[in-house]
Amino acid sequence: MRTIRIVLGSYLLASIPVAYITGRLLSGIDLREHGSGNVGASNIWQSSTKQAVVPVGLAEIGQGLFGPAVAIASGLGPGSQAAAGVVAVAGHNWSPLLGFAGGRGVAHAIGVMLAISRQALAVFIVISLIGVRVKAIPQFVALGILSAPVVAKLTRQPVEIVSGLSAIAALIFAKRLMANEPPSPDADRRRVLINRLLYDRDTSQRDAWVARDAAQH
Report whether pLDDT(37) > 50: yes
Return the higher-pLDDT residue of 212 and 64: 64
pLDDT value of position 208: 62
Residue 207: pLDDT band (50, 70, 90) is low
pLDDT value of position 214: 44
pLDDT value of position 47: 82
pLDDT (average), residues 36-52: 85
Report whether pLDDT(212) > 70: no
From residue 39, alpha-carbon distances to 8, 98, 134, 139 in Å are 21, 10, 25, 19
pLDDT (average), residues 36-48: 85
Report whether pLDDT(210) > 60: no
Report whether pLDDT(211) > 70: no
Query: Could you give the CA distance from residue 57 to residue 107 in angstroms, rounded to a whole number?
Result: 6
Global pTM value: 0.91
pLDDT value of position 215: 44
pLDDT (average), residues 178-205: 83
Rounded mean pLDDT of the chain?
91
pLDDT value of position 217: 43
In angstroms, the first-to-last Cα distance of the chain is: 48
pLDDT (average), residues 54-70: 97
Return the higher-pLDDT residue of 215 and 152: 152
Give per-residue pLDDT as tens, 94-148. Answer: 999 999 999 999 999 999 999 999 999 999 999 999 999 999 999 999 999 999 9
